[in-house]
Each structure stands twice: as C-alpha cells, then as structure tokens.
Amino acid sequence: MKTFSYKIDPLTSENYLEVYLKGQQLMNNPFLNKGLAFSYEERMNLGLDGFLRDQILTVDEQAERSYEMFLRKHDDLEKYIFLQGVLNRNETLFYHLLHKNLKEMLPIVYTPTVGKACQLMSHIIRKFRGIYITEENIHNIDTIFQHIELPEIYLIVVTDGERILGLGDLGSDGMGIPVGKINLYIAAGGLNPGCCLPITLDVGTNNPARLNDPLYIGVRKQRLDGPAYYKFIEKFVLGIRRNFPHALLQWEDFSKNKAFDLLERYNQRVLSFNDDIQGTGATALAALYSAFKIKNTKFKDERYVIVGMGQAGSGVCFNIQKAMLEEGLDASEIKQRIFAVDIQGLLVDDMPNLENQMKPFAQRRSDLVDWNLDNSNFIGLKDVIKNSKATVVVGVTAQPNLFDGEILRMMSENTDRPVIFALSNPTSKSECTPKDVYEHTKGKGLIAAGSPFDPVEGQYGTMYASQCNNMYIFPGVGLGALVSKTPYITYKMFMAASKRLSSLVSKEELSKGLLLPEMNNIREISAQIAIAVAKEARDCGLGRLATDDEIELFVRKSQWDGNYYNYRAGKK
C-alpha cells in the first residue's frame, strides 16, 4: 500500500522519492502532488504529459498564487477552509506557504480559528485526513495501520475529542486539533510531513448538540467510559507499538481525569507526552523565567496563584514547583508560595473529593487561620490574591473576564510589576485582555496570553503581550526526543526546553516586556529546543551517545526544508 519510498542514488548521492503512482493517481495524492512544479522529465516518466499546462513553476511561485487567493477570503473560517483545501491538494505547497506566512496564518490553522472550525467540522469537511479508530474497528487496527500509504510513521497526535480547547466535547469533530498540531510540528519544528499521522479515537460523544445534529458524521452514541474505555486505549497503544515502534505519541485534548491517567500509565511504556499538561507547563515556565529576568527576582521570591487546576493549571504548578526545588526550597516552603484555586475556591487539604493532581498543591487549613476572609466558608480568588500577597496570577479556566479590574489593581498593590497570564483559548475565553492589564496596572503588568493580541498604546507607553503558545515547546521537544532516540521523556527534558526558550528572548524584547521570542524564526527556536532536549536525554543516560556538535548536526539534518523532492518511477 506504500505509494513512495525515500531513496539515495548510490552514484550521485542525490536524495529522491521512488514513486509507485502515475498520472492522475499521482496528482490526486496530496503528499506527492507537485502541480505545475513537475519537471518535463517527470511529466514524461510519470504519465503526466498532457495533464498539466505548459509552464513549470517553483514552489515559491505557487505559494505566491495561493497567497493571493488566501487574501481574497474575507472570513477567517473561509481562510481555514481554503488552507485545508491547499493541504488536501498539495502538502508541500501548503507547508511552504504556512512557513512563509506563519505569523499571519497561525491564528487560522490553529487557535483561535481552529476552534470554530472544529465546532462546524461535520458541516465544512471536504476531505478526510488521518485515521479514525472506533469500538467497531479497533479489532482491525493492524490492518488499518498497514493500509497507510506513508513508508514510516514517527509522529502521531491523537485525541478522543472530549475536551477540545475550551469548547468541551466535540466528538470526532475534534480531528481539527491533531491535524492542526501536525501542521505546527511540520511548519515550526521541521518534521517531514511524510512521517506524521493524526488520529481520532471516535468513542462517541456526550454533547447533545452533536448527537442531535443531523449532519454530525461521528459515532452517534454516548461516549465510551470506565473500564471499557481503558481497555480500548490499551488495544490502541499496543497497536501503535506493533506497527510504529519508533513513533512519538502526543496525547491531545483528552478530558482532565483521563489525561492524567493516560500519562501515568503510558509515559514510560511508549515514547509519549501530553501537550496540554507538559507543553503548557513548560511554555509558561519559560515565560516566567523571562519575567523574573525583567524583575530581577527568582522563583522563590514570588507568590503564585494558579486558577483552574485541570491539565494546564496542574502542569504550570508542577513546573513552578520543580523550579523552586532547583533553587533549594523544600516542599513546605514551596507550598507557602503556590496557591491553587478551582471551582471550590482555594484548594485546602481538608476538602473532600480533591482530584489527584490537586492534592500536592492544597493548602493546610492551619496555615490560613490568620487570613482575613469575606466568607469563612469559601476562600475565593480575591481572598487569595489579597491574603497571599500574590505577585503572579495564572488563569487556565476558560472564564472570560475572570481577572477583573479589582483583581488586577490588587496585583499591582502586591508588586510593582505584576505577572498576569491569561492562557485560555480561544480569545473569547481569555481571563482578561492586555488592555485590561494596561489600564489597571498603569502599564506595569507583564502579560502572556493563550491567543494573540495586538500591542496596547496609551498614556503609559506601549504594552506588548506575549502569546504563550505551546508551539514554542512541543515541536522542539518532539524533534529532540526522536533525534535522541530516548525511550521516554522526563520532566528535566521539558525544563531544559523551558530554559533554552527563555534564553532566546533578546535584551531588546525583554526591555519591551516580551516574555517569549518573536515567532518569526520559529524553525530555529524549535531546533534550539530540540538540541537542548537531546543533550538532556544524553546526559541523563537515556539518549544516544553523541557530542554536542553531533547532536546539533542530527537536529539540523532532520529538519525538512519545505521543498519538493525529485521523483523517479518505481515498481512495487
């Protein structure tokens, strides 16, 4: 079923693809199709003569034409549909176009537009990408995987669609997320699209809007749960190990409890990580490293309030905890500096039914006796900000305007330069806006947001908001893990990624209050993070033995350049 193979000419050392399709079959294959970039020799040898107009275009010329049509779309959803159309016709052109215009197109192919696209996926879908695994076909998983036309799979992004961004259970319409994440792995990290596979585990949905939508095309029943769900996942993971033993598996947008369970069960059985937990935590950690460079403080000097103790919030807490451990604080001292808040208010150790990820960050009730509270039966966010003397507040709640003017002013009273992270996606779910921070901190706040925001200008000068986008971290971590051949990923690898990312923020950017580097050179940022991860893998005894120079060479050579290969006709 393979449609091509990677080859090297033994005489000239030329890299080329040996392709097993001809004519219109070749042109209908999005990975192999070059459109008008097929050379005259390829047109003759591959049965394309007469099927194409006369001109031969470079990929840059094709991208220029596509960009012109992209600009004609006046609605972000239409732009998304257009770009998916390019992806479904010609993958190389799509990634070339995306890489050249990443800052402009990133909000289209991923947050915030991908959220709207997922909500409407059954209505707008034109062509199916990736693999859908269901209860009905899980027994046939080996055959399904063997029918994949790609010669080798090194990256898999998988979701079950239960917690898509801040939008909840979208069932199999959540496939837009694995597709989008792979778009970013390739455009930002430089992975070859010929080795990447998006997968959706379609185990039903509990969303009435999906079940009652006559156009919904996923499994139309209540979501699989309990022991049957975990048995299904086990069959899936075993299928991955049998068929793609060298692949990295990224868990994406699973519900909170399942995400933690799956990470714990499989993180050392299969090369894998959870971007919502580990990627978010590592990106936020990098932004905090930068913020404290601006403030000239250390982690142990700050007081942290984390609001929303799901996957992202727990990941942020865990990373702050590890950073303070590195600075020499013990567990008791760390607990006095991290204050975790969820729907029940401040987490306290005597609360019933605390979830497992919450328990390490729950405060001792005895430590709160001197707090001045509005209501002794409920310790709300404003109580926590006031009594903890918080200097950093991180929101991952999907509750817009949660950080109101009063809270932002209280933060300014606690510290001259409050650190405000409003990380929820899409933009409509952000806990506050940069404009809010600007007005209520008099331009002194240091802000990072989950979605892109324009700079704010006014009487206090210009405030810049960094987009705390996981794209800074996960492509480089994935590439570094694959290059190093580590059997699993440790928290120290993520910390190495965070430190390297922060080190890439220039002095000029720090002077503007930016906490993360500009995305214009994201391919190089990903390479630097991959190198740092591979070095940490080597140093901890898990990665391949290689010098620093060799590791850098491996990473550079593994990044796909976004150009067409030469083709030669082959026989299966």
Active site positions, annotated? 110, 181
Give the contacts of 386 (CB within 8 A, at least 6 positions apart): 372, 410
168 secondary structure, DSSP code:
B
Backbone phi, psi, residue 244, to 5°: -130, 65
Strand partners of residue 450: none
How many other β-carbons are positioned within 10 Å of the β-carbon of residue 31? 15
Strand partners of residue 198: 157
Alpha carbon 95 to chain centroid distance? 17
DSSP per residue, 326-338: HTT--HHHHHTTE
How many other β-carbons are positioned within 10 Å of the β-carbon of residue 535? 21
CA angle 407, 410, 414 (to 5 degrees): 135
97 secondary structure, DSSP code:
H
Q: How far apart are CA 435 and CA 458, in angstroms?
A: 10
Instruction: Give rounded-to-5 percent helix, strand, coil for the chain.
Output: 50, 10, 40
- Cα end-to-end distance, the chain, whole Å: 9
Q: How far apart are CA 283 and CA 308, in angstroms?
A: 17
Give the contacts of 503 (CB within 8 A, at least 6 positions apart): none
Q: How far apart are CA 317 and CA 295, in angstroms?
A: 20
Q: Which amino acid is at 553?
A: L
Token pair of 26, please? 């070749």
Question: What b/e sequence results for 84-114 when a residue is b if at least 16 CB atoms lie within 10 Å of its CB, and e otherwise?
Answer: bebbbbbbbbbbbbbbbbbeebbbbbbbbbb
